[in-house]
Amino acid sequence: MQLAVVMSGTIIALTCGWLLLSSFTATLPVPAWLIPVTPVVKQDMTKDIAHVVMRDSEALSVLYGVWGYEVPADSAWCDQAVRAGLVCKSGNASLQTLVDQNLPWIASLKVGDKKLPVVVVRVGEASVDVLVGQQTWTLTHKWFESVWTGDYLLLWKMSPEGESTITRDSSEEEILWLETMLNRALHISTEPSAEWRPLLVEKIKQFQKSHHLKTDGVVGFSTLVHLWQVAGESAYLYRDEANISPETTVKGK
């Protein structure tokens, strides 16, 4: 069993409220303390991590930070996510399922007799990077899966009107936004329309195919996540090239 721990800078302290660390650009702004540093490998993982403590609200505060928001732990709850245009999603899933969802998530580890929430930010071919406060721990897949309970909590960005899907029954504004986003992602220069047309469905399928999603023309969770990521307005899970799902993998709508 192996682990690496990296210490870096401090988070800006706030007395109240939220602070957007910086405007979203072509890539998600990453706080300086999240910039990867070559880790120092330690041998006794259990001994080291057994002394780490982080509350659920602190873990959610860290996850908000990955999204580019500074949120105090005492304000970091799911019902506050709407203030950032986000929503929480939780459940139980396999590691590969969460890798396919392509978003950082909070995982609960059972270390000894205690529960430790961590924020998963990278999944590689043989290791997993998790954040605990301002520390980055590099864990082996084998050890991570042996102590992870399989549960997850993640943040994701819904449509501009706060919907989890966009269909022919959606508002004209939503449909216009969808086609505008698809045109940008597919490098199409034609004028977008607010009507749900067969051409729009074909664009949806083309986008889904290019991102290895289920090619069904349905705009749901996975398609919205990837649209926002292409626009640079969503966090994403860092992955080694060897770990990226092949084209044959179908990852939902």
For residue 188, is it within any domain? yes
pLDDT by residue, tens only, the chain of 253 residues: 444 443 333 333 333 344 444 333 333 444 444 444 444 433 344 446 666 778 889 999 999 999 999 888 888 899 889 888 899 999 999 999 999 999 999 999 998 888 899 999 999 988 999 998 888 888 898 999 999 999 999 999 999 999 999 999 999 999 999 999 999 999 999 899 999 999 999 999 999 999 999 999 999 999 999 999 999 999 999 987 543 433 333 455 5
Q: Count up the domains in the chain and report the number.
A: 2
For residue 162, is it within any domain? no
CATH at residue 190: 1.10.101.10
Q: Which domain holds residue 213?
A: 172-232
Let me know whether 103 and 225 are in one domain: no
In this prediction, residue 16 carries a pLDDT of 37
Q: From CA 114, how far away is CA 136, in angstroms rounded?
A: 20
In this prediction, residue 156 carries a pLDDT of 97
Answer with the one of 156, 180, 206 that is the final residue of a domain: 156
- At residue 155, the 3 state secondary structure works out as strand
For residue 93, is it within any domain? yes
Where do the H-state alpha helices sit in 67-171?
95-101, 141-147
Let me know whether 46 and 102 are in one domain: yes
In this prediction, residue 239 carries a pLDDT of 85
CATH at residue 33: 3.90.70.10
In this prediction, residue 48 carries a pLDDT of 67
In this prediction, residue 28 carries a pLDDT of 40
In this prediction, residue 253 carries a pLDDT of 54
Let me know whether 17 and 69 are in one domain: yes
Instruction: Show the tokens assigned to 221.
Output: 């969770």
- Contact in structure between 155 and 165 (CB atoms under 8 Å): no
CA 11 to chain centre: 20
Let me know whether 95 and 178 are in one domain: no
Q: Which residues pair with 19 in a beta bridge?
A: 70
Q: From CA 74, how far away is CA 91, in angstroms rounded?
A: 23
Let me know whether 115 and 69 are in one domain: yes
Q: Which residues contact 40 (CB under 8 A, 6 or more apart)?
A: 4, 5, 6
Let me know whether 36 and 138 are in one domain: yes
Indicate the residue type of 249.
T
